[in-house]
């Protein structure tokens, strides 16, 4: 027996939200490739490339144009569809309409920042803002995806948060903010020209507090990573400590810690192995993966799986 029309639409909407998160994740990674390969001015004009739609057969131009095409022909339309569908089918549900509307506004802002970045020849402040908006967009889409699968957020401390896990809900929110700050500090290393200023790890030329500014900028990111790492690991270990929390909380907590550890290893490999652009792009990719998993943890922690979007007026 087939599903009711409302349920069919809802399954389609759920799948679309999940796919949009993945597509936006891929876009952020591609943006990282643009940055580490210094392809931001591969197309010095905007929205075209060297006065046309098809870029010249040059590596940096192709990389930059690939990023723009992915944004404009894949991620942008996906978010537009989510925005329209939310207002047509879910306009009474704030936890669907608000995230979808925010995502639509952010993708427009992101396009404008992208254009401003190129036309102003990559000023550091705009480059960092471009990444900040991209990561915020990913988090908003994670909210939309989780809510579409589990139901609206309750914004209350969950019933399972007792005993050893009683501090987890608050700590995981702080951990999410901390990971976002860490992402921005990593971006600052790149835009300030400090990448490569420290040829060894974990110290910088054998010093914990180097004299030169670029080296200190690089070390600042490492200090932020150390503080955030300790806090994140402590906070998220509560997600699988004890037996009261749901299985998804346990799995995502362990996954986030594993990804964070991998991120540290990759960061060290970039320095120790004098590795190139591919590993630097992987560094950002894993960092964004940590951000996605922690964002999902926050939303799931405060979601209400007892409420579904299966009513006749919500399909």
pLDDT in tens, 100-141: 999 999 999 988 887 777 766 666 677 788 889 999 999 999
Identify whether 47 is preceded by a cis peptide bond (ω within 30 of 0). Answer: yes
- Convert the pLDDT of each residue in 217-254 to its tens digit: 888 888 999 999 999 999 999 998 877 788 899 999 99
- Convert the pLDDT of each residue in 31-77 to its tens digit: 888 877 878 778 888 777 887 778 888 888 888 888 888 988 999 99
What is the reported pLDDT for 310? 47
Percentage of the chain with pLDDT > 90? 38
What is the reported pLDDT for 98? 95
Higher-scoring residue by pLDDT: 5, 40 = 40
Q: How far apart are CA 131 and CA 227, in angstroms?
A: 22
Q: Contact at 8 Å (CB) between 61 and 43?
A: yes
User: Pick from 219, 228, 208: which is nearest to 271 by CA?
Assistant: 219
Q: Where are the domains of the chain?
A: 1-150, 152-315
Q: How far apart are CA 45 and CA 33, in angstroms?
A: 19
**What tokens appear for 192 in the block?**
């300030």
- Specify the pTM: 0.87
Q: How far apart are CA 264 and CA 33, in angstroms?
A: 19
- Convert the pLDDT of each residue in 165-191 to its tens digit: 888 999 999 999 999 999 988 888 877
């Amino acid at each position: 027996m087939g599903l009711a029309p409302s349920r069919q639409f809802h399954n389609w909407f759920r799948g679309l939200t999940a796919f949009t998160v993945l597509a936006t994740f891929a876009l952020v990674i591609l943006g990282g490739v643009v940055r580490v390969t210094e392809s931001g001015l591969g197309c010095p004009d905007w929205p075209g490339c060297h006065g046309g739609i098809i870029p010249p057969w040059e590596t940096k131009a192709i990389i930059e144009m690939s990023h723009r095409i992915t944004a404009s022909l894949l991620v942008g339309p996906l978010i537009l569809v989510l925005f329209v569908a939310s207002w047509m089918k879910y306009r009474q549900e704030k936890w669907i309409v608000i995230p979808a509307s925010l995502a639509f506004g952010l993708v427009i802002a992101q396009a404008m920042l992208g254009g401003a970045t190129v036309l102003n020849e990559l000023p550091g402040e705009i480059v960092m803002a471009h990444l900040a908006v991209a990561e915020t967009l990913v988090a908003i889409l994670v909210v939309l995806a989780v809510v579409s699968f589990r139901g609206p957020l309750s914004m209350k401390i969950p019933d399972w948060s007792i005993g050893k896990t009683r501090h987890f809900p608050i700590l995981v929110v702080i951990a999410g903010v901390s990971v976002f700050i860490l992402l921005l500090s990593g971006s600052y290393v790149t835009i300030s020209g400090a990448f490569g200023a420290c040829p060894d790890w974990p110290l910088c030329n054998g010093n914990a507090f180097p004299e030169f500014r670029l080296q200190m900028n690089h070390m600042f990111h490492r200090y932020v990573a150390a503080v955030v790492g300790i806090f994140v690991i402590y906070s998220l270990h509560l997600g699988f400590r004890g037996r009261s929390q749901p299985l998804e909380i346990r799995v995502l907590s362990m996954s986030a810690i594993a990804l964070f550890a991998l991120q540290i290893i990759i960061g060290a490999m970039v320095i120790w192995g004098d590795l190139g652009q591919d590993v630097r792009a992987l560094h950002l990719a894993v960092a964004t993966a940590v951000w996605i998993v922690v964002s999902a943890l926050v939303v799931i922690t405060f979601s209400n799986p007892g409420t579904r979007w299966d009513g006749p007026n919500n399909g």
